[in-house]
Amino acid sequence: MATFDVEEVLSKLTVREKIDLLAGIDNWHTAPIPEHGIPSIRVSDGPNGIRGTRFFNGSPAACFPCGTAMGATFDKALLHEAGVLMGKESKAKGASVILGPTINMHRAPLGGRGFESISEDPVLAGLGAAEIVKGIESTGVVATIKHFVCNDQEHERQAVDSIVTQRALREIYLLPFQLVVRDSRPSAFMTSYNKVNGKHVSESLSMIQTILRGEWGWEGLVMSDWFGTYSTVDAVNAGLDLEMPGPTKWRGALVRSAIAANNISLHTLDARAREVLKFVNRCAQAGVEENAIERTNDTPETAKLLRKLAADSIVLMKNERHLLPLKKDKSTLIVGPNAKTATYCGGGSASLPAYYAITPFDGISSKLKQEPAYTVGCYGHKELPLLGAQLKNAEGKPGIDMRFYNEPPTVKNRQVIDQLSIVRTDMFLVDYSHPLLNEEFYATVEGTFTAEEDGDYEFGLIVWGKGNLYVDGKLVIDNSTKQTQGTTFFGSGTIEEKATMPIKEGQSYHVLLEYSSSSTSTLKPEVLASRGGAIRLGGAMVLDPKAEIKKAVALAGEFDQVIICAGLNSDWEGEGSDRETMALPDYMDELISSIASENPNTIVVMQSGTPVEMPWLERVPALIHAWFGGNETGNGIADVLFGDVNPSAKLPLTFPIRLQHNPAYLNYRSERGRVLYGEDVYIGYRWYEAIEQAVLFPFGHGLSYTSFSISSLSITTDKEQITTRVSVKNTGNVAGAEVVQYYIAQANPSIRRAVKELKGYSKVYLQPGEEKTVEVNLNKKYATSFWDEGRNAWISEKDTYCVIVGTTSATTDNNSLRASFDVEKTEWWTGL
pLDDT digits (tens, 9 = 90+) for 541-564: 999 999 999 999 999 999 999 999
Q: Where exactly are the structural domains of the chain?
A: 306-380+544-690, 383-541, 708-829
Q: Is residue 526's pLDDT more than 60? A: no
Q: Quick count: other Cβ atoms within 10 Å of Cβ 590?
A: 17
Q: Quote the percentage of the chain above a pLDDT of 70.
A: 99
Under a CB-based contact definition with an 8 Å cutoff, are residues 772 and 731 in contact? no
Which helix (H) or strand (E) covers residue 11, if one does? helix 6-12
pLDDT band at 487 (very low <50, low <70, confident <90, very high): confident
Bridge partners of 405, per DSSP, are 442
The span from the CA of 793 to the CA of 170, in Å, is 9
pLDDT band at 524 (very low <50, low <70, confident <90, very high): confident
Helix axes 266-283, 253-260, angle to 10 degrees: 140
303-318 tens-digit pLDDT:
999 999 999 999 999 9
Ordered DSSP codes for 213-247: IIIS---SEEEPPTT----SHHHHHHT--BB-SSS
Q: Which of 45, 75, 161, 225 is catalytic?
A: 225
pLDDT band at 33 (very low <50, low <70, confident <90, very high): very high
Mean pLDDT of the chain: 96
Residue 528 is predicted with a pLDDT of: 55
Global pTM value: 0.96
Q: Cβ-count burial of 331 within 10 angstroms (0-12 exposed, 13-18 middle, 19+ buried)?
A: middle
pLDDT band at 828 (very low <50, low <70, confident <90, very high): very high
Mean pLDDT across the stretch 734-762?
A: 98
Which helix (H) or strand (E) covers residue 802, if one does? strand 799-806
- Is omega for the bond preceding 661 within 30 degrees of 0, making it cis? no
The span from the CA of 234 to the CA of 240, in Å, is 9
Q: Assign domain 708-829 to a CATH class.
A: mainly beta
- The CA-based dihedral angle spanning residues 156, 162, 163, 166, taken in that order and rounded to the nearest 10 degrees: 180
The span from the CA of 61 to the CA of 57, in Å, is 12
CB-based contacts of 230: which residues, under 8 Å, 6+ apart? 158, 200, 202, 203, 250
CA-atom Rg of the chain in angstroms: 27
Q: Is residue 438's pLDDT more than 70? A: yes
The span from the CA of 482 to the CA of 689, in Å, is 50
For 309-346, the three-class secondary structure string (H helix, E strand, C coil) is HHHHCCEEEEEHHHCCCCCCCCCEEEECCCCCCCCCCC
The span from the CA of 699 to the CA of 120, in Å, is 9
Mean pLDDT across the stretch 655-667?
A: 98
Mean pLDDT across the stretch 167-183?
A: 98
613-635 tens-digit pLDDT:
999 999 999 999 999 999 999 99
Q: Quote the percentage of the chain above a pLDDT of 90.
A: 95
- CATH topology agreement for domains 306-380+544-690 and 708-829: no
117-166 tens-digit pLDDT:
999 999 999 999 999 999 999 999 999 999 999 999 999 999 999 999 99
Fold held by 383-541: Jelly Rolls (2.60.120)
pLDDT band at 58 (very low <50, low <70, confident <90, very high): confident
Mean pLDDT across the stretch 679-686?
A: 98
239-291 tens-digit pLDDT:
999 999 999 999 999 999 999 999 999 999 999 999 999 999 999 999 999 99
Residue 530 is predicted with a pLDDT of: 64
Q: Is residue 65's pLDDT more than 90? A: yes
| Half-sphere exposure for 648 (CA within 13 Å, toward CB) | 24
Residue 525 is predicted with a pLDDT of: 60
The span from the CA of 50 to the CA of 116, in Å, is 14
Mean pLDDT across the stretch 185-201?
A: 98
The span from the CA of 809 to the CA of 756, in Å, is 9
Coil, helix or strand at residue 589? helix
CB-based contacts of 458: which residues, under 8 Å, 6+ apart? 384, 498, 499, 500, 539, 540, 541, 542
- The CA-to-CA distance between both ends of the chain, in Å, stands at 34
Q: In what order do the strands lie in the sheet with 708-717?
A: 708-717, 721-730, 771-779
The span from the CA of 284 to the CA of 774, in Å, is 40
Question: Which architecture, in CATH terms, is 306-380+544-690?
Answer: 3-Layer(aba) Sandwich (3.40)
Residue 203 DSSP label: G
For the question of residue 152 being annotated catalytic, the response is no
pLDDT band at 436 (very low <50, low <70, confident <90, very high): very high
Helices (H), 352-439: 360-365
The span from the CA of 287 to the CA of 758, in Å, is 39
Residue 523 is predicted with a pLDDT of: 87
Residue 430 is predicted with a pLDDT of: 87
Residue 666 DSSP label: G
- The CA-based dihedral angle spanning residues 251, 252, 257, 262, taken in that order and rounded to the nearest 10 degrees: 60
Mean pLDDT across the stretch 31-42?
A: 97
- The CA-based dihedral angle spanning residues 84, 86, 92, 95, taken in that order and rounded to the nearest 10 degrees: -110
Helices (H), 100-212: 122-137, 166-168, 175-184, 205
Residue 735 is predicted with a pLDDT of: 98
User: Of 101, 95, 157, 151, whose CA–CA distance to 126 is shortest?
Assistant: 101
